[in-house]
Amino acid sequence: MQTVTVSRRVDAPPEQVRAAMDDLEVFMLAAGFTEVTVDGDDMHLENQVGLATVTLDLRLVDTGADLAYEQADGFFETMDTAYRVEPVDGGSEITATTDFELDVALVGQILDATVIKRQRRHELESQFDWLESEFAG
């Protein structure tokens, strides 16, 4: 199992941060995905990673996190992400954690865990950049 965790402090109360994250289409586009479709608890995402086009179908799950989803279909063996928003002095601390296992038969030599971890860290940081910009004075 591979894990990517990113944290950031944002100058906004947790309820405002959660409300911004609830706009799933915009929040996922902020990660840099080129196509995002949200239908209830289901999301379809597409993105370019290196030479490959990555297509993921995700499903929202109730894990006790502020936002959590898992892969319903895609090239991972398993993949889940959870976002937690905690109050801190004058704002919020957001932590996102993605755990994944690659399906080696599907991924092969094009992508490896190092590339996926770097890409995922960039996606999460981009989402946090967007959240910061939403609350910038």
Domain ranges of the chain: 2-135
pTM for the structure as a whole:
0.89
Rg over CA atoms, the chain: 15
Express each pLDDT in 100-121 by its tens digit.
987 665 555 456 677 788 888 9
Q: What is the pLDDT of residue 97?
A: 98
**Both tokens assigned to 126:** 């981009």
Instruction: Tell which CATH classification among 3.40.1360.10, 3.30.530.20, 1.20.58.1290, 1.10.8.10 matches the domain 2-135.
Output: 3.30.530.20
**Which residues is 3 bridged to in the sheet?**
99
